[in-house]
A = this chain, B = another copy of it.
Amino acid sequence: MEPLSRRSFGSDNNAPVAPEILQAIVDANDGDAPGYGDDPWTSRAIERFKQHFGEATAVYLTFNGTGANVSALSSLLRPWEAVLAPASAHLQTDECGALERFNGSKVIPVATGDGKIRPADLEPSLHAGHDVHFPQPRAVSISQATEFGGVYERDELRELCAFAHERGLIVHVDGARIANAAVALGASLREMTVDLGVDVLSFGGTKNGLMLGEAICFFNPGEHLRTVVPFVQKQSMQLASKMRYLAAQLEALMTGDRWLRYASHANAMAQLLFERVRAIDGIRVTRPVRCNAVFATLDRAAIERIRREYFFFVFDPALPEVRWMTHWATTQRDVDDFAACIERAVRHG
């Protein structure tokens, strides 16, 4: 548990807080404010999200991504309603069954090659149910960007939304890295969500420069839903008392093009890393580098040598396949040093 003396390529949640965000926190520390969101910072943050996603959007701030996903889905699903998600989804693999426990809903994992669900992948699960014996599929949850650093193209997502809606399914997007996907797609936040038919988004802040904070955005909330979500948020332990400090960060992130700049930089650094390592003999980059992650297979001993100097995860120990992530604070120098370390480690073998 020594502090990291070098840049981490482990996760974008290993990053520090971006300076403008930290400043926003400091600025918010001004006098007293009512609790639980009844403060001007929260009002302004919500306003910002409406500017990005449309006036109809209902916005709720949560502590973390699991909280956002679980609160969003628990507001929409009854316990006998199921959500279909890629087998690789954070919701399925990294939330310790929080949705099952909190809401009782079954998560139906859908096998995919690349973490992306296509309409055809959903078909078998839609017919699995029969009467009351199987939970009713009610939502599909996808990750944009995916856990493999990929993205749904706009046409792909539009098609998936249309397919889902035809079958009465709500479309939820886990947007822990929505900003990175926006950069990859060259689209505005609205163009890549609301305009394609997405119903609800877990908008990620923590992995894009914040200390903590996510925002659930319902794009077409009915009156009923607006009465439901606040109770779900509270009962799921995701209602901050000193809400202004979450809100100030999200307001700052959504002001100007900060959210875009942080993500653009992170993506660019991954691209640079990809350029640096693609030519190294013994390394095979295994997935398209669209956002801020490089996946690669390389020699097990080489991995161990690199890990003596840098922190990162072996994503699939069987291959082994590593995941190298960049973030808003990763520098060109960091990438150069890391790539050099990788090259040494691989050559040494």
A230 to B, closest residue via Cβ: B132
Q: Given A105-B100, A311-B34, answer yes or no on A212-B80 (Cβ-Cβ < 8 Å).
A: no
List which A13-71 residues lie within 8 A (CB) of chain B. 13-17, 22, 25-26, 29-36, 38-40, 42-43, 63-67, 70
Q: Which of B33, B230, B231, B242 contacts A3 (CB 8 A)?
A: B33
Tell me which residues across on chain B come within 8 A of A240, comparing CB atoms.
63-64, 212
**Complex Cα gap A17–B30 (Å):** 9
Interface size of A in residues (CB-CB distance below 8 Å)? 85
Distance (Å) between the CB of A139 and the closest chain B CB? 14
Q: Are A1 and B241 in contact, CB atoms less than 8 angstroms apart?
A: no
Name the B residues within 8 Å of A104 (CB-CB).
97, 100-102, 104, 235
Chain B residues within 8 Å of A231, by CB: 78, 80, 96, 132, 135-136
Check if A98 sits within 8 Å of B132, measured CB to CB. Answer: no
Decide yes or no whether A144 CB sits under 8 A from chain B. Answer: no
Asked if A236 CB lies within 8 Å of chain B CBs, one says yes
Report whether A29 and B8 are in contact in the complex, using a CB–CB cutoff of 8 Å.
Answer: no
Which residues of A are at the interface with B, using a C-beta cutoff of 8 A?
1-8, 10-11, 13-17, 22, 25-26, 29-36, 38-40, 42-43, 63-67, 70, 78-80, 82, 93-98, 100-102, 104-107, 109, 127-128, 131-136, 206, 211-212, 228, 230-242, 245, 311, 317-318, 329
**Given A8-B32, A11-B35; 17 other pairs, CB 8 A cutoff:** A1-B38, A1-B40, A3-B33, A3-B40, A4-B34, A16-B30, A70-B237, A79-B97, A79-B100, A94-B134, A101-B102, A132-B230, A135-B235, A136-B231, A212-B242, A236-B237, A237-B238
